[in-house]
Amino acid sequence: MQIPLQITFRYTPYSDALSTHLRRRVEELDHLFHGMVSCQVVVDLAGHHHFHGDRYRVSIHVNLPGHELVVNHDPADRRHLETERAAADGAFDEIARQLNDWVKRQRGSRHGEAHGST
Q: What is the mean pLDDT of the chain?
A: 86
Is there a contact between 75 and 57 (Cβ–Cβ < 8 Å)?
A: yes
Q: Which pTM does this prediction carry?
A: 0.84
pLDDT of residue 53: 67
Once rounded to an integer, what is the mean pLDDT over residues 20-43? 94
Annotate 36-71 with DSSP letters as a single string: --EEEEEEEEEEEETTTEEEEEEEEEEEETTEEEEE
Report whether CATH 1.20.1050.10 matches the domain 6-116: no
The more confidently predicted of residues 102 and 46 is: 102
